[in-house]
Amino acid sequence: MSEDDQDLGEVLHAVGPRLRALRKQRNATLTGLAETTGISVSTLSRLEAGQRKPTLELLLALARAYQVPLDELVGAPPTGDPRLHPKPFVRHGRTYLPLTRRPGGLRAYKMILPPERLPEPPDQRVHEGYEWMYVLSGQLRLMLGEHDVVLRPGEVAEFDTHVPHWFGNAGAEPCEVLALFGPQGERFHVRARPAS
């Protein structure tokens, strides 16, 4: 048995006594609880005795009846430290600081783009996804299809990455950008117009 299976077994085994204690605290009967939840008395009894594994459907009905969070019924461990301790990495001279820890889905980065000398015109690329960029400091040049814009601190750009694009530092100082990248189909709620 894996460690995860063992942990799950311990959590499920502890649900029965927790359900019984909660019912006794509320001075409720199995019959009354059965009427409130629609769960049979025998099922409730077997759940409390640990003879039946609780399903999500049963736990949701019980949490609703007791007016407690589902976490309280299953004894979920407290949430750990939410702070991230990102490890920056450098790619093509640009520093990326991951601001999310989950792979896949929406990803957030702080990017630091050094001043750079570029061939004209830069090579625009396409790929899956959708991108949102907010300039913290410096100047960001964004080429998006036929558009060529410079964004300054406080300005935002949002675009589908199927459109040929390139971005880089447009100034003599480093440029800092917050960037959100999501798989195709996800859309961000912030909309921005190109700077005129």
pLDDT classification of 54: cutoffs 50, 70, 90: confident
Residue 111 to residue 114: CA distance in whole angstroms: 10
Alpha helices in the chain (DSSP H): 3-25, 30-37, 41-49, 56-66, 70-74
Is 53 exposed, middle or buried (CB count within 10 Å of its CB: 0-12, 13-18, 19+)?
middle
pLDDT tens-place string over residues 84-123: 788 899 998 899 999 887 666 788 999 999 998 776 778 8
- Distance in angstroms (rounded) separating the CA atoms of residues 126 and 91: 18
CA distance 56 to 21: 19
Please, what is the end-to-end C-alpha distance for the chain in angstroms? 63
Q: Give me the mean pLDDT over the 69-87 stretch.
A: 76
Q: Is the pLDDT of residue 192 over 50?
A: no
Please tell me the predicted confidence (pLDDT) of residue 128. 86
Q: How confident is the model at residue 9 (pLDDT cuts 50, 70, 90)?
A: low
Taking 80 as the threshold, does the pLDDT of residue 196 lie above it? no
**Between these two residues, 45 and 120, which has the higher pLDDT value?**
45
**CA atoms 68, 73, 77, 83: torsion sign:** negative
Q: Which class for 169: exposed (0-12), middle (13-18), buried (19 or more C-beta within 10 A)?
A: buried
**Per-residue pLDDT, 127:** 86
Q: What is the pTM of this model?
A: 0.55
How much is the average pLDDT of 174-181?
Answer: 95
Q: Work out the pLDDT band at 6, boundaries 50, 70, 90.
A: low
User: How much is the mean pLDDT over the chain?
Assistant: 84
Q: What's the mean pLDDT in 34-57?
A: 91
Backbone angles phi, psi at 41, to 5 degrees: -60, -40
Strand order in the sheet with 165-169: 147-151, 140-144, 165-169
132 falls in which pLDDT band (50, 70, 90)? Answer: very high
Q: What is the pLDDT of residue 190?
A: 40
Q: Which residue has the tokens 């589908």?
A: 160
The DSSP secondary-structure symbol of 172 reads: S
